[in-house]
A and B are shown apart, each in its own frame.
Chain A
Amino acid sequence: MPDRDLDQAISRVFRAEHGTVVARLVAALGDFDRAEEALQDAFMQALQTWPQTGIPDRPGAWLTTVARNRGLDGLRRAKVFADKSASIRATAEALGDDRLRIDDTEEALDRAVMERALPDERLRLIFTCCHPALSNDARVALTLRMLGGLTTPEIARAFLVQEATMAQRLVRAKKKIHRANIPFRIPPADVLPERIDSVCAVVYLIFNEGYAVTDGEAWLRAELCEEGLRLGELLTRLLPASAEVRGLYALMLLHDARRRARVDEAGELVTLERQDRSLWDPSKTAKGIDQLTKALEMSSLGPYQLQAAISAEHATAPSWAATRWDRVLELYDRLLECVPSPMVALNRCVPLTMTGHHEAARGELARLEPVLRSHYKLAVVRAWLHAELGETGEARDAYARAIAGCTNAAERRHLERELRRRCED
Protein backbone atom coordinates (compact mmCIF):
# COMPACT_ATOMS: atom_id res chain seq x y z
CA MET A 1 0.00 0.00 0.00
CA PRO A 2 1.47 3.40 -0.91
CA ASP A 3 2.28 5.60 2.09
CA ARG A 4 -0.48 8.07 1.47
CA ASP A 5 -3.18 5.39 1.23
CA LEU A 6 -1.88 3.78 4.40
CA ASP A 7 -1.93 7.12 6.21
CA GLN A 8 -5.51 7.63 5.14
CA ALA A 9 -6.47 4.11 6.14
CA ILE A 10 -4.89 4.63 9.54
CA SER A 11 -6.66 7.91 10.15
CA ARG A 12 -9.96 6.30 9.12
CA VAL A 13 -9.35 3.57 11.68
CA PHE A 14 -8.56 6.19 14.35
CA ARG A 15 -11.79 8.03 13.72
CA ALA A 16 -13.90 4.89 13.58
CA GLU A 17 -12.46 3.38 16.75
CA HIS A 18 -12.14 6.58 18.79
CA GLY A 19 -15.45 6.51 20.66
CA THR A 20 -15.30 2.84 21.59
CA VAL A 21 -11.68 2.95 22.72
CA VAL A 22 -12.13 6.14 24.77
CA ALA A 23 -15.19 4.65 26.45
CA ARG A 24 -13.27 1.50 27.40
CA LEU A 25 -10.35 3.57 28.64
CA VAL A 26 -12.50 5.86 30.77
CA ALA A 27 -14.01 2.75 32.31
CA ALA A 28 -10.59 1.26 32.96
CA LEU A 29 -8.75 4.40 34.03
CA GLY A 30 -11.59 6.27 35.69
CA ASP A 31 -10.69 9.64 34.22
CA PHE A 32 -11.39 11.47 30.96
CA ASP A 33 -8.06 13.25 30.63
CA ARG A 34 -6.05 10.15 31.41
CA ALA A 35 -8.06 8.19 28.86
CA GLU A 36 -7.46 10.75 26.12
CA GLU A 37 -3.79 11.04 26.91
CA ALA A 38 -3.35 7.27 26.86
CA LEU A 39 -5.18 7.06 23.53
CA GLN A 40 -2.94 9.74 22.03
CA ASP A 41 0.07 7.67 23.14
CA ALA A 42 -1.45 4.60 21.52
CA PHE A 43 -2.14 6.51 18.28
CA MET A 44 1.48 7.65 18.21
CA GLN A 45 2.67 4.11 18.70
CA ALA A 46 0.31 2.88 15.97
CA LEU A 47 1.68 5.48 13.55
CA GLN A 48 5.16 4.10 14.15
CA THR A 49 4.30 0.39 14.18
CA TRP A 50 1.51 -0.11 11.65
CA PRO A 51 3.42 1.01 8.54
CA GLN A 52 5.77 -1.95 9.22
CA THR A 53 3.32 -4.54 10.52
CA GLY A 54 0.19 -3.48 8.66
CA ILE A 55 -3.08 -2.54 10.32
CA PRO A 56 -4.01 -5.27 12.83
CA ASP A 57 -7.18 -7.31 12.33
CA ARG A 58 -8.83 -5.79 15.35
CA PRO A 59 -7.36 -2.30 15.49
CA GLY A 60 -9.73 -1.21 18.28
CA ALA A 61 -8.54 -4.00 20.56
CA TRP A 62 -4.91 -3.22 19.69
CA LEU A 63 -5.37 0.46 20.52
CA THR A 64 -7.27 -0.30 23.72
CA THR A 65 -4.62 -2.67 25.00
CA VAL A 66 -1.71 -0.36 24.24
CA ALA A 67 -3.51 2.68 25.61
CA ARG A 68 -4.70 0.90 28.73
CA ASN A 69 -1.20 -0.31 29.51
CA ARG A 70 0.15 3.18 28.98
CA GLY A 71 -2.59 4.63 31.12
CA LEU A 72 -2.09 2.13 33.91
CA ASP A 73 1.64 2.83 33.89
CA GLY A 74 0.82 6.47 34.32
CA LEU A 75 -1.55 5.70 37.14
CA ARG A 76 1.05 3.63 38.95
CA ARG A 77 3.57 6.38 38.56
CA ALA A 78 1.12 8.83 40.04
CA LYS A 79 0.76 6.45 43.00
CA VAL A 80 -2.94 6.92 43.08
CA PHE A 81 -3.58 3.48 41.68
CA ALA A 82 -4.88 2.00 44.91
CA ASP A 83 -7.75 4.36 45.51
CA LYS A 84 -8.55 4.81 41.82
CA SER A 85 -9.11 1.13 41.29
CA ALA A 86 -11.16 1.06 44.47
CA SER A 87 -13.44 3.73 43.08
CA ILE A 88 -13.64 1.93 39.74
CA ARG A 89 -14.53 -1.28 41.56
CA ALA A 90 -17.21 0.58 43.48
CA THR A 91 -18.64 1.98 40.25
CA ALA A 92 -18.60 -1.45 38.63
CA GLU A 93 -20.35 -2.98 41.61
CA ALA A 94 -22.95 -0.25 41.64
CA LEU A 95 -23.56 -0.94 37.98
CA GLY A 96 -23.57 -4.70 38.11
CA ASP A 97 -25.66 -5.31 41.17
CA ASP A 98 -28.62 -3.69 42.74
CA ARG A 99 -29.99 -2.92 39.34
CA LEU A 100 -32.53 -5.61 38.72
CA ARG A 101 -35.13 -5.02 41.37
CA ILE A 102 -38.42 -6.79 40.89
CA ASP A 103 -40.70 -3.83 40.62
CA ASP A 104 -44.44 -4.01 40.44
CA THR A 105 -44.70 -2.40 37.04
CA GLU A 106 -43.73 -4.26 33.93
CA GLU A 107 -42.37 -1.12 32.38
CA ALA A 108 -39.87 -0.57 35.17
CA LEU A 109 -38.79 -4.18 34.82
CA ASP A 110 -38.30 -3.76 31.09
CA ARG A 111 -36.17 -0.74 31.70
CA ALA A 112 -34.06 -2.55 34.27
CA VAL A 113 -33.54 -5.44 31.86
CA MET A 114 -32.63 -3.02 29.13
CA GLU A 115 -30.05 -1.39 31.35
CA ARG A 116 -28.54 -4.64 32.46
CA ALA A 117 -28.43 -5.99 28.94
CA LEU A 118 -26.40 -3.00 27.81
CA PRO A 119 -23.10 -2.86 29.55
CA ASP A 120 -21.65 -0.99 26.61
CA GLU A 121 -19.19 1.53 27.86
CA ARG A 122 -19.99 3.85 25.00
CA LEU A 123 -23.47 4.27 26.38
CA ARG A 124 -22.06 5.25 29.75
CA LEU A 125 -19.79 7.68 27.97
CA ILE A 126 -22.72 9.29 26.12
CA PHE A 127 -24.72 9.67 29.30
CA THR A 128 -21.76 11.24 31.06
CA CYS A 129 -21.00 13.65 28.20
CA CYS A 130 -24.68 14.67 28.04
CA HIS A 131 -25.16 15.00 31.80
CA PRO A 132 -27.64 17.76 32.73
CA ALA A 133 -25.16 19.22 35.22
CA LEU A 134 -23.08 20.33 32.20
CA SER A 135 -24.01 23.30 30.03
CA ASN A 136 -25.49 22.59 26.61
CA ASP A 137 -22.39 23.90 24.84
CA ALA A 138 -20.20 21.67 26.97
CA ARG A 139 -22.36 18.62 26.28
CA VAL A 140 -22.10 19.09 22.53
CA ALA A 141 -18.36 19.74 22.61
CA LEU A 142 -17.63 16.78 24.88
CA THR A 143 -19.77 14.41 22.82
CA LEU A 144 -18.00 15.40 19.60
CA ARG A 145 -14.59 15.20 21.25
CA MET A 146 -14.97 11.99 23.22
CA LEU A 147 -17.39 9.99 21.04
CA GLY A 148 -16.84 11.50 17.65
CA GLY A 149 -13.11 11.87 17.94
CA LEU A 150 -13.21 15.34 16.38
CA THR A 151 -10.21 17.45 17.33
CA THR A 152 -10.61 20.61 19.38
CA PRO A 153 -9.79 22.87 16.39
CA GLU A 154 -12.36 21.03 14.27
CA ILE A 155 -15.08 21.49 16.89
CA ALA A 156 -14.12 25.14 17.29
CA ARG A 157 -14.39 25.72 13.53
CA ALA A 158 -17.72 23.90 13.34
CA PHE A 159 -19.21 26.15 16.00
CA LEU A 160 -17.45 29.28 14.81
CA VAL A 161 -15.65 29.98 18.08
CA GLN A 162 -11.99 30.57 18.81
CA GLU A 163 -9.90 27.46 19.31
CA ALA A 164 -8.80 28.67 22.75
CA THR A 165 -12.43 29.20 23.76
CA MET A 166 -13.33 25.67 22.73
CA ALA A 167 -10.25 24.22 24.46
CA GLN A 168 -11.20 26.03 27.64
CA ARG A 169 -14.79 24.85 27.38
CA LEU A 170 -13.61 21.24 27.17
CA VAL A 171 -11.16 21.62 30.04
CA ARG A 172 -13.84 23.18 32.21
CA ALA A 173 -16.34 20.45 31.40
CA LYS A 174 -13.88 17.67 32.18
CA LYS A 175 -12.92 19.41 35.41
CA LYS A 176 -16.55 19.59 36.41
CA ILE A 177 -17.09 15.88 35.68
CA HIS A 178 -14.15 15.15 37.94
CA ARG A 179 -14.70 17.67 40.75
CA ALA A 180 -18.50 17.42 41.01
CA ASN A 181 -18.24 13.64 40.63
CA ILE A 182 -20.54 13.15 37.67
CA PRO A 183 -20.85 9.37 37.59
CA PHE A 184 -19.69 7.34 34.59
CA ARG A 185 -22.73 5.13 34.35
CA ILE A 186 -26.08 4.42 32.77
CA PRO A 187 -28.58 6.39 34.86
CA PRO A 188 -30.98 4.50 37.12
CA ALA A 189 -34.47 3.70 35.78
CA ASP A 190 -36.29 6.51 37.58
CA VAL A 191 -34.35 9.23 35.75
CA LEU A 192 -33.53 7.27 32.57
CA PRO A 193 -36.28 8.80 30.36
CA GLU A 194 -35.26 12.40 31.13
CA ARG A 195 -31.61 11.54 30.70
CA ILE A 196 -32.36 9.93 27.31
CA ASP A 197 -34.10 13.21 26.37
CA SER A 198 -30.94 15.08 27.21
CA VAL A 199 -28.82 12.74 25.04
CA CYS A 200 -31.28 13.04 22.13
CA ALA A 201 -31.21 16.83 22.38
CA VAL A 202 -27.40 16.85 22.11
CA VAL A 203 -27.36 14.48 19.14
CA TYR A 204 -30.06 16.48 17.34
CA LEU A 205 -28.18 19.70 18.03
CA ILE A 206 -25.04 18.25 16.46
CA PHE A 207 -26.99 17.11 13.40
CA ASN A 208 -28.82 20.42 13.06
CA GLU A 209 -25.64 22.43 13.37
CA GLY A 210 -24.45 20.57 10.29
CA TYR A 211 -27.79 20.79 8.54
CA ALA A 212 -28.39 24.50 9.06
CA VAL A 213 -27.26 26.52 6.10
CA THR A 214 -24.62 28.85 7.43
CA ASP A 215 -21.44 30.14 5.91
CA GLY A 216 -19.21 27.65 7.68
CA GLU A 217 -16.91 25.21 5.91
CA ALA A 218 -18.99 22.82 3.84
CA TRP A 219 -17.07 19.62 4.61
CA LEU A 220 -17.31 20.30 8.34
CA ARG A 221 -21.06 20.79 8.00
CA ALA A 222 -21.36 17.41 6.29
CA GLU A 223 -19.12 15.93 8.96
CA LEU A 224 -21.47 17.10 11.72
CA CYS A 225 -24.49 15.61 9.94
CA GLU A 226 -22.64 12.32 9.53
CA GLU A 227 -21.67 12.43 13.19
CA GLY A 228 -25.26 13.10 14.25
CA LEU A 229 -26.44 10.14 12.14
CA ARG A 230 -23.68 7.90 13.48
CA LEU A 231 -24.60 8.77 17.07
CA GLY A 232 -28.28 8.30 16.28
CA GLU A 233 -27.61 4.86 14.84
CA LEU A 234 -25.45 3.97 17.83
CA LEU A 235 -28.15 5.10 20.25
CA THR A 236 -30.84 3.02 18.54
CA ARG A 237 -28.59 0.00 18.89
CA LEU A 238 -27.76 0.75 22.52
CA LEU A 239 -31.27 1.75 23.59
CA PRO A 240 -33.46 -0.39 21.31
CA ALA A 241 -36.49 -0.07 23.60
CA SER A 242 -36.69 3.72 23.39
CA ALA A 243 -39.24 4.85 20.81
CA GLU A 244 -38.06 8.46 20.87
CA VAL A 245 -34.42 7.52 20.25
CA ARG A 246 -35.57 5.64 17.14
CA GLY A 247 -37.82 8.56 16.24
CA LEU A 248 -34.84 10.90 16.40
CA TYR A 249 -32.76 8.60 14.19
CA ALA A 250 -35.65 8.40 11.69
CA LEU A 251 -36.02 12.19 11.72
CA MET A 252 -32.32 12.72 10.98
CA LEU A 253 -32.35 10.14 8.17
CA LEU A 254 -35.40 11.72 6.56
CA HIS A 255 -33.90 15.20 6.77
CA ASP A 256 -30.57 13.98 5.52
CA ALA A 257 -32.21 12.29 2.53
CA ARG A 258 -32.98 15.80 1.24
CA ARG A 259 -29.52 17.21 1.86
CA ARG A 260 -28.37 17.25 -1.77
CA ALA A 261 -31.50 19.09 -2.92
CA ARG A 262 -31.25 21.83 -0.29
CA VAL A 263 -28.50 23.69 -2.11
CA ASP A 264 -28.45 24.54 -5.82
CA GLU A 265 -25.46 24.58 -8.21
CA ALA A 266 -24.61 28.09 -7.07
CA GLY A 267 -24.56 26.94 -3.46
CA GLU A 268 -27.76 28.79 -2.66
CA LEU A 269 -30.47 27.58 -0.28
CA VAL A 270 -33.50 25.84 -1.81
CA THR A 271 -36.52 25.36 0.45
CA LEU A 272 -38.66 22.23 0.48
CA GLU A 273 -41.33 23.82 -1.70
CA ARG A 274 -38.97 24.23 -4.68
CA GLN A 275 -36.59 21.32 -4.22
CA ASP A 276 -35.89 18.94 -7.09
CA ARG A 277 -37.32 15.80 -5.51
CA SER A 278 -35.41 13.52 -7.87
CA LEU A 279 -32.28 14.53 -5.97
CA TRP A 280 -33.59 13.09 -2.71
CA ASP A 281 -31.86 9.93 -1.55
CA PRO A 282 -34.49 7.16 -1.74
CA SER A 283 -32.44 4.67 0.28
CA LYS A 284 -32.11 7.10 3.20
CA THR A 285 -35.82 7.89 2.99
CA ALA A 286 -36.67 4.19 3.05
CA LYS A 287 -34.37 3.64 6.00
CA GLY A 288 -35.92 6.59 7.85
CA ILE A 289 -39.45 5.34 7.25
CA ASP A 290 -38.45 1.85 8.37
CA GLN A 291 -37.04 3.25 11.64
CA LEU A 292 -40.11 5.44 12.14
CA THR A 293 -42.44 2.48 11.61
CA LYS A 294 -40.52 0.49 14.23
CA ALA A 295 -40.70 3.43 16.64
CA LEU A 296 -44.45 3.91 16.16
CA GLU A 297 -45.03 0.21 16.81
CA MET A 298 -43.78 0.79 20.35
CA SER A 299 -46.86 2.94 21.03
CA SER A 300 -44.97 5.57 22.98
CA LEU A 301 -45.43 8.68 20.89
CA GLY A 302 -43.19 11.72 21.35
CA PRO A 303 -42.04 14.88 19.59
CA TYR A 304 -39.19 13.28 17.59
CA GLN A 305 -41.51 10.61 16.18
CA LEU A 306 -44.11 13.25 15.29
CA GLN A 307 -41.53 15.42 13.55
CA ALA A 308 -40.23 12.35 11.72
CA ALA A 309 -43.79 11.50 10.68
CA ILE A 310 -44.21 15.01 9.25
CA SER A 311 -40.90 14.65 7.44
CA ALA A 312 -42.02 11.24 6.12
CA GLU A 313 -45.19 12.80 4.68
CA HIS A 314 -43.03 15.23 2.71
CA ALA A 315 -40.55 12.52 1.75
CA THR A 316 -43.27 10.37 0.17
CA ALA A 317 -45.26 13.17 -1.48
CA PRO A 318 -44.86 13.46 -5.28
CA SER A 319 -44.80 17.27 -5.06
CA TRP A 320 -45.36 20.21 -2.71
CA ALA A 321 -48.90 20.68 -4.03
CA ALA A 322 -49.77 16.99 -3.93
CA THR A 323 -48.65 16.58 -0.31
CA ARG A 324 -51.24 15.10 2.05
CA TRP A 325 -51.60 18.42 3.86
CA ASP A 326 -54.58 17.30 5.94
CA ARG A 327 -52.37 14.54 7.35
CA VAL A 328 -49.50 17.01 7.94
CA LEU A 329 -51.89 19.34 9.77
CA GLU A 330 -53.11 16.49 11.94
CA LEU A 331 -49.52 15.63 12.88
CA TYR A 332 -48.81 19.28 13.69
CA ASP A 333 -51.86 19.33 15.97
CA ARG A 334 -50.45 16.35 17.86
CA LEU A 335 -47.00 17.90 17.96
CA LEU A 336 -48.39 21.13 19.36
CA GLU A 337 -50.10 19.15 22.13
CA CYS A 338 -46.74 17.52 22.92
CA VAL A 339 -44.60 20.65 22.58
CA PRO A 340 -46.67 23.80 23.06
CA SER A 341 -43.98 26.03 21.54
CA PRO A 342 -44.74 29.17 19.51
CA MET A 343 -42.30 27.99 16.81
CA VAL A 344 -44.30 24.79 16.28
CA ALA A 345 -47.49 26.89 16.19
CA LEU A 346 -45.86 29.14 13.60
CA ASN A 347 -44.86 26.26 11.33
CA ARG A 348 -48.34 24.82 11.69
CA CYS A 349 -49.62 27.88 9.80
CA VAL A 350 -48.24 26.36 6.58
CA PRO A 351 -50.40 23.19 6.59
CA LEU A 352 -53.29 25.34 7.87
CA THR A 353 -52.99 27.50 4.77
CA MET A 354 -52.44 24.56 2.44
CA THR A 355 -55.65 22.89 3.67
CA GLY A 356 -57.64 26.06 2.95
CA HIS A 357 -57.94 27.32 6.53
CA HIS A 358 -56.75 30.77 5.52
CA GLU A 359 -58.58 32.71 8.21
CA ALA A 360 -57.41 30.31 10.91
CA ALA A 361 -53.82 30.80 9.72
CA ARG A 362 -54.22 34.58 9.79
CA GLY A 363 -55.66 34.39 13.29
CA GLU A 364 -52.79 32.20 14.44
CA LEU A 365 -50.22 34.66 13.06
CA ALA A 366 -51.96 37.55 14.82
CA ARG A 367 -52.00 35.57 18.07
CA LEU A 368 -48.29 34.76 17.74
CA GLU A 369 -47.28 38.36 16.98
CA PRO A 370 -46.93 39.46 20.64
CA VAL A 371 -45.45 36.09 21.67
CA LEU A 372 -42.70 35.96 19.06
CA ARG A 373 -42.32 39.73 19.03
CA SER A 374 -40.32 40.70 16.01
CA HIS A 375 -38.74 37.30 15.34
CA TYR A 376 -37.96 37.30 11.62
CA LYS A 377 -39.38 33.77 11.17
CA LEU A 378 -42.82 35.19 11.89
CA ALA A 379 -42.37 37.66 9.03
CA VAL A 380 -41.11 34.81 6.80
CA VAL A 381 -44.29 32.77 7.31
CA ARG A 382 -46.48 35.87 7.04
CA ALA A 383 -44.81 36.83 3.75
CA TRP A 384 -45.28 33.30 2.41
CA LEU A 385 -48.95 33.30 3.42
CA HIS A 386 -49.68 36.67 1.78
CA ALA A 387 -47.83 35.67 -1.40
CA GLU A 388 -49.71 32.38 -1.46
CA LEU A 389 -53.04 34.23 -1.29
CA GLY A 390 -51.99 36.75 -3.91
CA GLU A 391 -51.76 39.67 -1.50
CA THR A 392 -48.63 41.07 -3.09
CA GLY A 393 -48.46 44.38 -1.22
CA GLU A 394 -48.64 42.77 2.22
CA ALA A 395 -46.25 40.04 1.11
CA ARG A 396 -43.70 42.63 0.00
CA ASP A 397 -43.84 44.41 3.39
CA ALA A 398 -43.47 41.15 5.28
CA TYR A 399 -40.51 40.03 3.10
CA ALA A 400 -38.80 43.34 3.77
CA ARG A 401 -39.21 42.84 7.52
CA ALA A 402 -38.01 39.24 7.29
CA ILE A 403 -34.92 40.26 5.30
CA ALA A 404 -34.12 43.03 7.78
CA GLY A 405 -34.35 40.65 10.72
CA CYS A 406 -32.50 37.66 9.26
CA THR A 407 -28.87 37.38 10.35
CA ASN A 408 -27.95 34.34 8.25
CA ALA A 409 -26.49 35.49 4.95
CA ALA A 410 -27.54 32.41 2.94
CA GLU A 411 -31.09 32.60 4.19
CA ARG A 412 -31.25 36.36 3.59
CA ARG A 413 -30.24 35.88 -0.04
CA HIS A 414 -32.95 33.24 -0.32
CA LEU A 415 -35.57 35.65 1.04
CA GLU A 416 -34.45 38.35 -1.39
CA ARG A 417 -34.89 35.89 -4.27
CA GLU A 418 -38.34 34.93 -2.97
CA LEU A 419 -39.33 38.60 -2.78
CA ARG A 420 -38.33 39.11 -6.41
CA ARG A 421 -39.90 35.89 -7.60
CA ARG A 422 -43.22 36.19 -5.81
CA CYS A 423 -43.83 39.92 -5.68
CA GLU A 424 -42.28 41.42 -8.78
CA ASP A 425 -43.89 39.68 -11.71
Chain B
Amino acid sequence: MQYMLLIYSEESDTPPPPEAQQEVLQAYFAYNEALKKAGAYVAGDALEATSTATTVRVRSSEALVTDGPFAETTEALGGYYLIDVENIDEAVAWAKKCPGSHHGTVEVRPVMVIPGDA
Protein backbone atom coordinates (compact mmCIF):
# COMPACT_ATOMS: atom_id res chain seq x y z
CA MET B 1 0.00 0.00 0.00
CA GLN B 2 1.25 3.47 -0.88
CA TYR B 3 1.58 6.38 1.52
CA MET B 4 2.64 9.94 0.90
CA LEU B 5 4.91 11.54 3.47
CA LEU B 6 4.42 15.29 3.25
CA ILE B 7 7.25 17.24 4.84
CA TYR B 8 6.33 20.58 6.37
CA SER B 9 8.90 22.91 7.87
CA GLU B 10 9.53 26.53 8.61
CA GLU B 11 10.98 28.52 5.76
CA SER B 12 13.60 31.02 6.80
CA ASP B 13 14.69 34.06 4.79
CA THR B 14 18.29 33.56 5.73
CA PRO B 15 19.78 30.26 4.55
CA PRO B 16 21.46 28.17 7.26
CA PRO B 17 25.29 28.00 7.31
CA PRO B 18 26.81 25.67 4.68
CA GLU B 19 27.88 23.05 7.24
CA ALA B 20 24.35 22.77 8.58
CA GLN B 21 22.96 22.59 5.04
CA GLN B 22 25.46 19.85 4.24
CA GLU B 23 24.40 17.94 7.33
CA VAL B 24 20.71 18.02 6.39
CA LEU B 25 21.54 16.97 2.84
CA GLN B 26 23.60 14.04 4.09
CA ALA B 27 20.75 12.95 6.34
CA TYR B 28 18.35 12.94 3.39
CA PHE B 29 20.81 11.02 1.21
CA ALA B 30 21.12 8.37 3.89
CA TYR B 31 17.34 8.25 4.24
CA ASN B 32 16.86 7.83 0.48
CA GLU B 33 19.33 4.95 0.53
CA ALA B 34 17.59 3.26 3.45
CA LEU B 35 14.18 3.55 1.72
CA LYS B 36 15.56 2.09 -1.51
CA LYS B 37 17.35 -0.72 0.30
CA ALA B 38 14.10 -1.69 2.02
CA GLY B 39 12.24 -1.61 -1.29
CA ALA B 40 9.89 1.06 0.06
CA TYR B 41 10.94 3.97 -2.16
CA VAL B 42 8.60 5.01 -4.97
CA ALA B 43 9.40 8.71 -5.38
CA GLY B 44 10.64 11.68 -3.43
CA ASP B 45 11.61 15.31 -4.07
CA ALA B 46 12.39 18.54 -2.32
CA LEU B 47 10.46 21.60 -3.41
CA GLU B 48 11.67 25.15 -3.99
CA ALA B 49 10.51 27.73 -1.43
CA THR B 50 6.88 28.90 -1.40
CA SER B 51 8.10 32.30 -2.64
CA THR B 52 8.47 30.57 -6.03
CA ALA B 53 4.93 29.14 -5.95
CA THR B 54 2.18 30.02 -8.38
CA THR B 55 -1.45 29.28 -7.59
CA VAL B 56 -3.96 28.50 -10.32
CA ARG B 57 -7.72 28.35 -10.03
CA VAL B 58 -10.22 28.02 -12.86
CA ARG B 59 -13.79 29.16 -12.23
CA SER B 60 -16.42 29.41 -14.98
CA SER B 61 -13.63 28.86 -17.53
CA GLU B 62 -11.77 31.85 -16.11
CA ALA B 63 -8.27 31.06 -14.96
CA LEU B 64 -7.06 33.00 -11.95
CA VAL B 65 -3.30 32.78 -11.69
CA THR B 66 -1.70 34.31 -8.62
CA ASP B 67 1.75 34.56 -7.15
CA GLY B 68 2.36 32.68 -3.90
CA PRO B 69 1.31 29.46 -2.16
CA PHE B 70 -2.24 28.15 -1.65
CA ALA B 71 -2.11 29.03 2.02
CA GLU B 72 0.29 31.21 3.98
CA THR B 73 1.33 29.12 6.95
CA THR B 74 4.33 29.17 9.26
CA GLU B 75 5.21 25.62 8.26
CA ALA B 76 5.13 25.13 4.50
CA LEU B 77 5.23 22.02 2.32
CA GLY B 78 8.89 21.60 1.47
CA GLY B 79 9.10 18.10 0.05
CA TYR B 80 7.53 14.69 -0.14
CA TYR B 81 8.15 10.97 -0.33
CA LEU B 82 5.91 8.41 -1.92
CA ILE B 83 6.52 5.05 -0.27
CA ASP B 84 5.12 1.56 -0.69
CA VAL B 85 4.85 -0.41 2.56
CA GLU B 86 2.59 -2.95 4.25
CA ASN B 87 0.55 -0.77 6.61
CA ILE B 88 0.28 2.47 8.63
CA ASP B 89 2.71 1.19 11.28
CA GLU B 90 5.48 0.84 8.72
CA ALA B 91 4.61 4.19 7.14
CA VAL B 92 4.80 5.88 10.55
CA ALA B 93 8.08 4.11 11.31
CA TRP B 94 9.52 5.58 8.08
CA ALA B 95 8.12 9.01 8.95
CA LYS B 96 9.92 8.84 12.31
CA LYS B 97 13.19 8.13 10.49
CA CYS B 98 12.63 10.92 7.94
CA PRO B 99 14.92 13.91 8.62
CA GLY B 100 11.88 16.10 7.95
CA SER B 101 10.13 14.91 11.12
CA HIS B 102 13.18 16.01 13.14
CA HIS B 103 13.40 19.56 11.83
CA GLY B 104 9.72 19.93 10.94
CA THR B 105 6.53 17.88 10.72
CA VAL B 106 5.68 14.93 8.52
CA GLU B 107 2.07 14.22 7.57
CA VAL B 108 1.38 10.63 6.56
CA ARG B 109 -1.45 10.22 4.06
CA PRO B 110 -2.62 6.96 2.53
CA VAL B 111 -2.84 7.11 -1.26
CA MET B 112 -6.44 6.53 -2.29
CA VAL B 113 -7.15 3.21 -3.91
CA ILE B 114 -9.64 3.67 -6.74
CA PRO B 115 -11.77 0.51 -7.06
CA GLY B 116 -11.16 -1.29 -10.37
CA ASP B 117 -7.79 0.37 -10.76
CA ALA B 118 -5.25 -2.45 -10.81
Q: Which positions in A face B, CB cutoff 8 Å?
A: 94, 131-133, 179-183, 187-188, 191
Taken residue by residue from 72 to 106, chain B's Cβ proximity to chain A (1 for < 8 Å, 0 otherwise) reads as: 00000000000000111100110000000000000
Question: Number of residue pairs across A and B with beta carbons under 8 Å?
Answer: 26
A187 to B87, CA, bound (A): 12
CB <8 Å contact, A181 and B1: yes
**Residues in chain B near residue A180, CB distance under 8 A:** 88, 108, 110
Could you pull out 9 A-B pairs where Cβ atoms are within 8 angstroms? A132-B92, A179-B112, A180-B108, A181-B110, A182-B88, A183-B86, A183-B87, A183-B88, A191-B89
Chain B residues at the A interface, C-beta cutoff of 8 Å: 1, 86-89, 92-93, 108, 110, 112
Give the nearest-CB partner of B90 in chain A: A183
B-side interface mostly: mixed
Could you tell me the distance between the alpha carbons of A188 and B87 in the complex, rounded to whole angstroms?
Answer: 13
Residue of B whose beta carbon sits closest to that of A132: B92
Cα distance A300–B17 when bound, in Å?
Answer: 45
Contacts of A131 in B (CB 8 A): 88
CA distance A183 to B88 in the complex (A): 7
Bound Cα distance from A219 to B87, whole angstroms = 40
Can you name the residue of chain A whose Cβ is closest to the Cβ of B93? A191
Q: Which residues of B contact A183 (CB under 8 A)?
A: 86-89
Cα distance A78–B106 in the bound complex, in angstroms: 36
- Chain A residues lying within 8 Å of B88, measured Cβ to Cβ, are 131, 133, 180-183
- Nearest-CB residue, chain A, relative to B109: A180
Interface of A is mostly: loop
A191–B93 Cα distance when bound, in Å, is 10
Can you name the residue of chain A whose Cβ is closest to the Cβ of B112? A179
Most buried by B among A132, A133, A181: A181
C-alpha gap A94/B90 in the complex (Å): 13
Assess whether B87 is in contact with A182, with CB atoms less than 8 Å apart.
Answer: yes
Q: How far is the CA of A180 from the CA of B92 in the complex (A)?
A: 11
The answer to whether B92 touches A181 (Cβ under 8 A) is no
- Given A132-B92, A180-B88, A181-B87, 14 additional A-B pairs, CB 8 A: A131-B88, A133-B88, A133-B92, A179-B110, A180-B110, A181-B1, A181-B86, A181-B110, A182-B87, A182-B89, A183-B86, A183-B87, A183-B88, A191-B89
> CB distance A187 to B110 under 8 Å?
no
Residues of chain B lying within 8 A (CB to CB) of residue A188:
89
How distant is the Cα of A131 from the Cα of B87 in the complex, in angstroms? 12
B-chain residues with CB within 8 Å of residue A191 when the two chains form the complex: 89, 93
Q: Give min CB distance, A300 to chain B, whole Å.
A: 24
CA distance A191 to B1 in the complex (A): 21
Residues in chain A near residue B1, CB distance under 8 A: 181
Q: Which residue of B lies closest to A195 (CB)?
A: B89
For the complex, give the distance between the alpha carbons of A183 and B89 in Å: 7
A180, B88: Cα distance in complex, Å: 6
Among residues of B, the one whose C-beta sits closest to the C-beta of A179 is: B110
What is the bound-complex CA distance between A132 and B88, given in angstroms? 10
What residues of B have a CB within 8 angstroms of the CB of A132 in the complex? 92
A182 CA / B1 CA spacing, docked (Å): 11
CA distance A60 to B110 in the complex (A): 36
Nearest-neighbor residue (CB-CB) of B113 within chain A: A179
- B87: chain A residues at CB < 8 Å are 181-183
Among A179, A180, A182, the most chain B Cβ lie within 10 Å of the Cβ of: A180
Contacts of B89 in A (CB 8 A): 182-183, 187-188, 191
The docked-state distance in angstroms from the alpha carbon of A191 to that of B90 is: 11
- Give Cα A30 to B54, complex, Å: 44
Residue of A whose beta carbon sits closest to that of B85: A181
Chain B residues within an 8 Å CB radius of A133: 88, 92
Most chain A CB within 10 A, of B87, B89, B93, B110, is at B89
Kindly list the 5 A-B residue pairs having the minimum CB-CB distance in the complex, ordered from nearest.
A183-B87, A181-B87, A180-B110, A180-B88, A182-B88
Residues of B close to A182: CB separation below 8 A: 87-89
Alpha-carbon gap, A131 to B92, bound state (A): 12
